[in-house]
Amino acid sequence: MPEDPEDVRTLIRRAPLSFVGTITQLGQARLTDVPVDERTAVVQVDTVLHAPDAFQKLAGSEVTIQLSGDLDPPAVGDAAAFFTDGMVYGESLAVTEVGRLPADAVQENISLVARTADAMPFSALQRDIADEDMVTHAAEADAVVVGVVVALEQMPADQPSEHYPDWWRARIDVSTVEQGQIEPGPVDVLYPNSLDFRWYQVPKPKASQEGMWILHATEGALREWAPFQILHADDHQPVQRLDTLQASRR
């Protein structure tokens, strides 16, 4: 692992794309509509460390990067691990640097990927981050249960408005209670079925779907429909994730 993995975790949380690359030009860009100054650089991507699916095969290509004003500027020929955000995609890719590490700080991650089934050098760290986030999120919830969806029902909407969540109610047959004041058996849970940008990441329960459900107490008038809600992208997890949660509490 790198010498300070906590720094790497912080950078991964801040940056959707990271790669090891070599500066090939300074004061230049590969996209004509990108503003250029002395901190604009063209970088040859050597190894992608973590990335969204669409950008996992950047190795061998050149990208434009707006270097951070908080870091010492590199020189042409310098190699580093760049952590980036703010992607602009055209005939090439432009990104903004949010952090940087020496290339050798991530070399062990790169070497390990050849000996594992991981797709990318930071896959293991991303799993650790996901576990940490899930454990923190569960600790803040009102209940955590394992159960299967046995019924679904759309709730009435008198005057749907822009960004209306389109409330549905799922009945979950709870088999295991890990946290909260719930008894095994059926419990009603509201969820927004809308695909509006405010709600599209929230899990949409399906008939007969099993899982670990992270539940939040319903407040206000909506409580008449169900005592709990799911409102967060992490509120549904595979059943096996219960082991991760329980291990964190030992």
Residue 97 lies in a domain: yes
- Per-residue model confidence (pLDDT) at position 5: 56
- From residue 154, alpha-carbon distances to 157, 167, 188 in Å are 9, 6, 12
Q: Assess if residue 37 is contained within a domain.
A: yes
Any idea what the CATH number is for the domain that residue 189 is in?
2.40.50.120
For residue 217, the model assigns a pLDDT of 98
Listed residues 83, 117, 151: the one ending a domain: 117
Query: Which pLDDT belongs to residue 3?
Result: 42
128 in a structural domain: no
Number of domains into which the chain is organized: 2
Each residue of 39-77: pLDDT tens digit? Answer: 999 999 999 999 999 999 999 999 999 999 999 989 999
For residues 208 and 104, state if they share a domain: no
- For residue 49, what are the domain limits? 5-117
Residues 86 and 158 in one domain: no
> What is the reported pLDDT for 229?
98
Note whether residue 124 is domain-resident. Answer: no
- Tens of pLDDT, residue by residue over 7-21, are 899 999 999 999 999
Domain shared by 48 and 104, yes or no = yes
Domain membership of residue 135 (yes or no) is no
Q: How confident is the model at residue 161 (pLDDT cuts 50, 70, 90)?
A: confident
What is the DSSP secondary structure assignment for residue 119, as one 8-state letter? S
Q: Tokens standing for 249?
A: 């509490």
**154, 199: one domain:** yes
CA triple 211-213-219, angle to 5 deg: 155
Within this chain, do residues 9 and 112 fall inside the same structural domain, yes or no? yes
* pLDDT tens-digit map of 82-139: 999 987 887 789 999 999 999 999 999 999 888 888 989 999 999 999 999 999 999 9
| Residues in contact with 193: Cβ distance below 8 Å, sequence separation at least 6, in sequence order | 154, 165, 166, 167, 168, 199, 204
* Residue that is last in its domain, among 82, 117, 152: 117
Rounded to 5°, the CA angle 93-94-95 comes to: 125
Q: Are residues 23 and 107 in the same domain?
A: yes
